[in-house]
Structure 1
């Protein structure tokens, strides 16, 4: 199957080199390695050998990252088409991200050279960036703060686009930025809720009659209400949010000097879950998916403050009123939305495997404590903050 025809390849090369007189000498499209595999798409590396003819003849070897509908897997392809995953991300790369980037001071995302409703051609970040190596790179806190700085600039630049050009991202593209994660239309989300209920009923700290009744009769409805968090906030200034900033969707750039082990910058990929909503969702996603549970208890306040200060510095740079997002409103909304972060943290609940839980718990000592820790954190938060919904 030829994903891209010769005219499309020529256009990609012309956009890359910013000139028209380009000749395609050779092209290769190879399936990506296993670490590039994803559920919502197939990934490739595109190599173009091209020649330009101007004042002098020059040859170039151009490398791109290509993602397409999963044509090799019909059920996944049908699911992507049903959810409109690729039309959504193509629109984001074509119409939203370029308008955000022009207010930025650094690369916020990979450059898009071409997109259709079923394929997106991006610069290959792997040439200059890489994923973190958990065994050799610096601790997650430094990286977490770097990601939060990056997100604060993405958020601030999207607000600057609205303020300076008198537009509303929600009015222009709200219907296109459909929710794909916190939605009852998402089977991962719904099955995850059932998995949480299953494990909560088994938690040794909640075996009393009242707790079991609460878990059985009320917990599911409370968890389902996290759908509301994905809608634009009525309390805090909304922004364009990435919504999926976990390790595999973040590329880091490291200084060339060997004594510098901490990354100097990062770049976000995969905007399929992006939404116009409260920036707190992005912040919480990072805190619950990048920082370990043990570390999060110690650094949560520090990270929230770091993000807020970074956001305010971008407001100042962009000439935006600092009270567009106040500290108190930001902290209040983070606390209110923490349930969404806790829910996402239970990422292992993305398929119905109740029987597998019991099997592994029986065979592997210590596994039960590992999977029950986030369940307890979730229940503690709900019992503390949702008393009006819990009490009869």
Structure 2
């Protein structure tokens, strides 16, 4: 889209309201035409249009022009994308988070902790013209991790920083839950749209399945096919039919685990905590090497109320490099819990409602299998690069979009498995770990997931 076309998307009334909130003045005057550019160079934000809007404005008490850049998210322009966004209800969910949740997080923080998500200046949601005006983190020095981190997973330093910030975010949601509007005891009651997962849920027979169920079904088939070509336990599990029987149960298992925890061990989770949704600042260490210093979470379209292990394990298995996850697994779990505990202390909340031992047990014994499953079934499509999601937004067609949503582009997956050894190696590693988790005794005759 041209700059003029992008500028037409920006509604001046909504922009004015955002500037009023940002400046604290009811009388804001733009001093020149706005500058609008795409906020992403890729199709990563395929459920929204992302813009960077640069403005110059004045307020009566200070006639000196002020320059500001805003990050603007609005509904996608194409109908085939709009239909999916409405079915998932993701834009509404994010509007609820920024409009209803964030103010309470900021109130609970009270200046004692930094809320690790962008500031919000304006939200509007009517189902047709939804828009968010957010802080432009790039203006404050934040940026995505390098391509190596995003493609191959975060290293240890990035991973531990994310764990700390996740502990802060979750602690703030726990503290803010105590100041919900009268009569509301939990976030699920106060924000019902965040009480149900947007992607993983079961439906009665004959009803339309969840939108991305087809991608998971493709992943299930790929896992079994790849396992059948691996020696030892994976091949035995695939040939016996037991691997297929188990993996077909995991959609429902995942759907149950993503519901609010029955023991009340719940927070408002980010819901999509992987490397593309993290932004970092960097500072040189004593040797002049740039190290991650601060980070914030972006893209809250899949936020949900559930056990905190969901966020922690999702990012560990879909965002951390394999070698670093193996090396730092226990340290990441401990770092998260200590951050949660320390943040709750700062917020005068008291101790976490579960001990470290209880949390670690939940992570390892209950929730880890779901994360290993997601890694196994989604690695094949996520590692496709541009064969899964075109780099240029303009290259997306309705036909390709439907293929991605329904199958994850299964033809490209099988082609890469045959011709791309590094790709195949990553998929095989994910499949092996899933087999090891569901057959923990090393025998196909014993599995806690066999009925």
The TM-score with structure 1 as length reference comes to 0.90
C-alpha distance in 2 between matches for 1:251 and 1:290: 13
Asked if 1:219 corresponds to 2:225, the answer is no
Assess, with a 3 A threshold, how the Cα gap between structure 1 residues 51 and 187 changes in structure 2: closer, same or farther.
same
Assess, with a 3 A threshold, how the Cα gap between structure 1 residues 139 and 242 changes in structure 2: closer, same or farther.
closer
Q: Secondary structure, in 3 states, of the residue corresponding to 2:221? A: helix
Corresponding position of 2:400: none
Corresponding position of 2:172: 157
1:103-252 residue pairs with structure 2 within 5 A?
103-104=108-109, 105-117=113-125, 118-128=130-140, 129-134=142-147, 140-163=155-178, 167-184=185-202, 185-203=209-227, 204-205=230-231, 206-208=234-236, 211-235=239-263, 237-252=265-280
Deviation per CA, 1:155-206, whole angstroms, max 9, x where unpaired? Answer: 1111112235674211111334441233354433442243233332332233
Which runs of no fewer than 5 residues in structure 2 stay unpaired?
203-208, 382-403
1:183-332 residue pairs with structure 2 within 5 A?
183-184=201-202, 185-203=209-227, 204-205=230-231, 206-208=234-236, 211-235=239-263, 237-255=265-283, 259=288, 261-332=290-361
Corresponding position of 2:82: 77
Q: Secondary structure, in 3 states, of the residue corresponding to 1:81? A: helix
Corresponding position of 1:39: 46
C-alpha distance in 1 between matches for 2:335 and 2:285: 27
Assess, with a 3 A threshold, how the Cα gap between structure 1 residues 196 and 168 changes in structure 2: closer, same or farther.
same
Corresponding position of 1:381: 437
- Asked if the contact 1:244/1:274 (under 8 Å) is kept, the reply is yes
- Asked if the contact 1:236/1:333 (under 8 Å) is kept, the reply is no
Query: Structure 1: which 4+ aligned runs deviate by more than 4 Å?
Result: 134-139
Q: Secondary structure, in 3 states, of the residue corresponding to 1:384? A: coil
- Asked if the contact 2:195/2:260 (under 8 Å) is kept, the reply is no
C-alpha distance in 1 between matches for 2:40 and 2:104: 32
Asked if 1:65 corresponds to 2:93, the answer is no
Q: Give the CA deviation at 1:62.
A: 1.7
- How many residue pairs were aligned? 389
Assess, with a 3 A threshold, how the Cα gap between structure 1 residues 135 and 379 changes in structure 2: closer, same or farther.
closer
C-alpha distance in 2 between matches for 1:209 and 1:66: 49
Q: Give the CA deviation at 1:236.
A: 5.3
Assess, with a 3 A threshold, how the Cα gap between structure 1 residues 270 and 210 changes in structure 2: closer, same or farther.
closer
Q: Secondary structure, in 3 states, of the residue corresponding to 1:103? A: helix
Range that drifts further, 316-325 or 277-286: 316-325
Corresponding position of 1:28: 35
- Asked if the contact 2:268/2:305 (under 8 Å) is kept, the reply is yes
C-alpha distance in 2 between matches for 1:257 and 1:18: 38
Which runs of no fewer than 5 residues in structure 1 stay unpaired?
none
Q: Secondary structure, in 3 states, of the residue corresponding to 2:104? A: helix
- Over aligned residues, Cα RMSD in angstroms? 2.6
- Asked if the contact 1:235/1:329 (under 8 Å) is kept, the reply is no
- Asked if the contact 1:253/1:264 (under 8 Å) is kept, the reply is yes
C-alpha distance in 2 between matches for 1:257 and 1:60: 34
Q: Give the CA deviation at 1:131.
A: 1.0
The TM-score with structure 2 as length reference comes to 0.79
Match of 1:48 among 55, 65, 68: 55
